[in-house]
Amino acid sequence: MNVLLFVLVGIALFPQADSFAQDSPRGESHFIGVKQTDMVAKSSASPDGEPDAVFSLSLKARASAPEIAAIEIRTTAGPRGAWSSRKIAGADFLGAAKAKEPSFLLNPKAEALNLKADEELSLLLFVTDDGKFSDKNRKFQAKIVNADGTSFVLPVLAEEPGKEESPPGATGVFPVRMSAVLKGISNYDAVSPGKTIKGDDKPDGLFVLSVEARDKEITGIEIRTTEGEPAAWDTIPSSKNWGIGVAAVSDPIKLLNKRDGTVAIPLHGRVDLNLYVADNGSIAKGTVNYRIAVTFRDGEIAWCPVKKASEETAEAPQEQPLRPSKVNFLGTWLGYVSTDSVGLYPGLKPDGKADAVFGLDIEVSPKNYISGIEINSMAGGTTRWGTTGTTPKVWGIGVAYQTAPTALLNRVDGSVRIPIEGRGQFYLYVADPGDLRRIHQGLRIIVHLADGSSYQQLLRQPSGTTPSVIPGVDESPKSKGAMTCEFRGFLYDFVNTSTRPGKDGYLDGTFILKLEVEDKKMVKVEVSGGDGIVRWSSEPKPPMMFLGVALYPQITKLINEQPGKMNVPLSGKRTVFLYAADNGMLSDPKAVLRVNVTFSDKSQLSTVVVK
């Protein structure tokens, strides 16, 4: 009975294409995959906390073609499913957006699309993940319905494996990190109701948005309520939402908007932005929750919930006195890296030269905040580095977590206020005056905490290579090293729970490892749990499980068809896919994983896996 019902619904939703309009546009559609975006729910254009499955649709213009009223997708094989841009019985909601404006849905109320077909259209289609999109046997078909009732059907093609090194919606090697706070009603007047970026003699609502990313460009920002009366503001000229005035926190008066309200903000680290909006009553009321979505030029969309200023204060008290801390720390000279974060001047300003790097391994209890870091000479020389707010006119220090070596934690002015409770491991980037390798043993590191206390000790030299993403001092001064790893879910079936490769009928957990090294040979890759015990290895010994290794773009071909030592030459930036059978840790969102790469010279790179 259920099968018959589905067939009847399918016939009703997708009648055969004998009603084709011969002059309708044609094109192609691709299933891109399940992405870390959340645009729609099962039955509406509202985020539901679940990732979306994303399709692309490109239509070629044809003369005198009618407007496009609706887009529908159904399965033709595998687990069943049907989605539509308009309300139809038996179909879940499908959100449609132009590829250039992916954060702006064209059908937020499941109404007719009314898209002109006399111009080429490139669309992204979002449906909420029903948990079955990983099935390789699932096939799809797209139906385009015209305003005059005619329609045509396109097959949905699968995206080529490895076609994109950083596909839309993916967090990539250097994941996008966002946080946002609603400050309330400001003392500034930048915008008015509607799209005009112009004051109306009324103070604006103020959101503060912090975004960390590398080599990206913000092209769109949207603020939307997540409960109660729907309300939205954005920087998209074609939408019906009110506009957003955007300014850097460091220069809150100068708006970054173009004349039409759009923005193009390059990102090479962290940026803090003031977002000014005309209050519709919800901001002054103070009881409504919001979320902010950011669109990047490469098509990726990232979003985060908005905290209230009171919540931020509760989490990070700025003025309350802190209890005295118990502090243990070790500062280590690590050599040189390929980053360029600072120069021989205060603050954060690159100088076109590779940075030198120190490691800071510190343990603090109870919770406190690192308010400043300095490095200077014990001999009283002039060589000094510091974060802004420590010693005047010192050269800048860039600070980053070792798990995210390119995402600087400094504020715009170079200062820091880093919460720490327990152990934290950081990289400190400084500009080399030319003699650092010779004088580093005579340097000391000073850490200032928010309770007014300061701690210092001599910088050390590691006894050998350390399990970090930066080469140790015993390597060539010119050696480079940086690595990040992200768990991307379950794809393909190459390995099992034994010490040898082989399919077991279950999809493998997939890691995307991106590293940058210079003239190295990779001999072993291992993944361990939070307890430090190795669970998967390319050179496994019981009870370890076999770890499959593939090099992009040949991500479906293992380079270690047999377990044992590898000898893979690497130089520059490379992407490596790792495949592991799930022992329960991969599907556990709370499990902490670390990947470790060993090279032929016995040096290593290691990083925490981002889930």
Average pLDDT over residues 99-112: 78
For 250-288, how does the pLDDT look when each residue is reduced to its tens digit (9 = 90+)? 777 778 998 888 899 998 888 889 999 998 888 887 778
462 or 245, which is more confident?
Answer: 245
Count of C-beta atoms within a 10 Å radius of residue 97: 20
Q: Is the pLDDT of residue 439 over 80?
A: no
**Local confidence band at 469 (pLDDT 50, 70, 90 cut-offs):** very low
Percentage of residues of the chain with pLDDT beyond 70: 83
For residues 15 and 26, give the distance between their C-alpha atoms in angstroms, rounded to a whole number: 18
Residue 75, pLDDT score? 93
One domain, residues 490 and 428: no
Are residues 338 and 396 located together in one domain of the fold? yes
Region 448-469 average pLDDT: 63
Asked whether residue 330 falls in the same domain as residue 309, the answer is no
Count CA atoms within 13 Å of residue 149 on its CB side.
Answer: 2
132/186 same-domain check: no
Please indicate, yes or no, whether residues 307 and 336 belong to a single structural domain of this protein.
Answer: no
What are the φ/ψ torsions at residue 309 (nearest 5 degrees)? -55, -35
Query: In this model, does residue 577 exceed pLDDT 90?
Result: yes
Task: Please work out, in degrees rounded to the nearest 5, the angle formed at the alpha carbon of residue 359 by the alpha carbons of 355 and 362.
Answer: 145
Q: Which of 426-435, 526-535, 570-579 has the lowest mean pLDDT?
A: 526-535
Residue 319 has pLDDT above 70, yes or no: no
254 within some domain:
yes
Picking from 158, 186, 218, the residue at the C-terminal end of a domain is 158
**Whether residues 308 and 366 fall in one domain:** no
- Whether pLDDT at 315 is above 70: no
Cα separation, 66 vs 48, whole angstroms: 34
Does 136 fall in a domain? yes
Least confident of 92-96, 452-456, 498-502: 452-456
The pLDDT assigned to 76 comes to 92
Final residue of a structural domain among 458, 493, 513: 458
Judgement on whether residues 576 and 513 belong to the same structural domain of the protein: yes
Residue 475 lies in a domain: no
Q: Does 152 lie in the same domain as 10?
A: yes
Does residue 163 form part of some domain? no
Tokens representing residue 425 in the block: 């491991």
Within this chain, do residues 447 and 493 fall inside the same structural domain, yes or no? no
Looking at the structure, tell me whether residues 229 and 308 fall in a common domain: yes
pLDDT over 90 for what percent of the chain?
Answer: 18
Residue with more model confidence, 504 or 325? 504
Overall number of domains in the chain: 4
pLDDT for the residue numbered 326? 76
The identity of residue 559, as a single letter, is I
3-state SS, residue 258: coil
With 60 as the cut, is the pLDDT of residue 15 above it?
no
Average pLDDT, the chain: 79
**Cα separation of 143 and 131, whole Å?**
23
30 lies in the same domain as 153: yes
Mean pLDDT score, 332-359: 83
- Is 364's pLDDT higher than 80? yes
Q: Residue 474: inside a domain, yes or no?
A: no
Task: Give the domain CATH number at 438.
Answer: 2.60.40
Closest residue by Cα to residue 263 from 276, 245, 249? 245
Last residue of a domain, one of 104, 127, 158: 158
pLDDT at 295 over 70: yes
Q: Which segment of 85-94, 294-303, 427-436, 490-499 scores lowest on mean pLDDT?
A: 294-303
Per-residue pLDDT reduced to its tens digit, 376-421: 876 655 668 999 887 778 899 999 888 777 778 888 788 888 988 8
pLDDT at 159: 60
Domain presence at residue 7: yes
CA atoms in the 13 A half-sphere facing the CB of 516: 13
Residue 28 has pLDDT above 90, yes or no: no
Q: What count of other Cβ atoms lies within 10 Å of the Cβ of residue 148?
A: 13
**Three-class SS state of 517:** strand
- Residue 103's pLDDT is 65
State residue 91's pLDDT score.
93
Is the preceding omega at residue 317 within 30 degrees of 0, hence cis? no
Q: What is the pLDDT of residue 353?
A: 83
Residues 401 and 515 in one domain: no
Burial-class residue 551 by CB neighbours within 10 Å (0-12, 13-18, 19+): middle
Burial per residue of 23-58, b for 16 or more beta-carbon CB atoms within 10 angstroms, e otherwise = ebbebebbbbbbbbbbbbbeebbbbeeebbbbbbbb
- Give the pLDDT of residue 73: 95
Domain assignment present for residue 169? The answer is: no
DSSP state of 227: S
pLDDT digits (tens, 9 = 90+) for 127-165: 988 888 888 889 999 999 988 888 889 999 876 443 433
Enclosing domain of residue 429 = 326-458
In a domain, 203, yes or no: yes
Give the pLDDT score at 93: 95
Residues 348, 352, 357: CA angle, nearest 5 degrees: 60
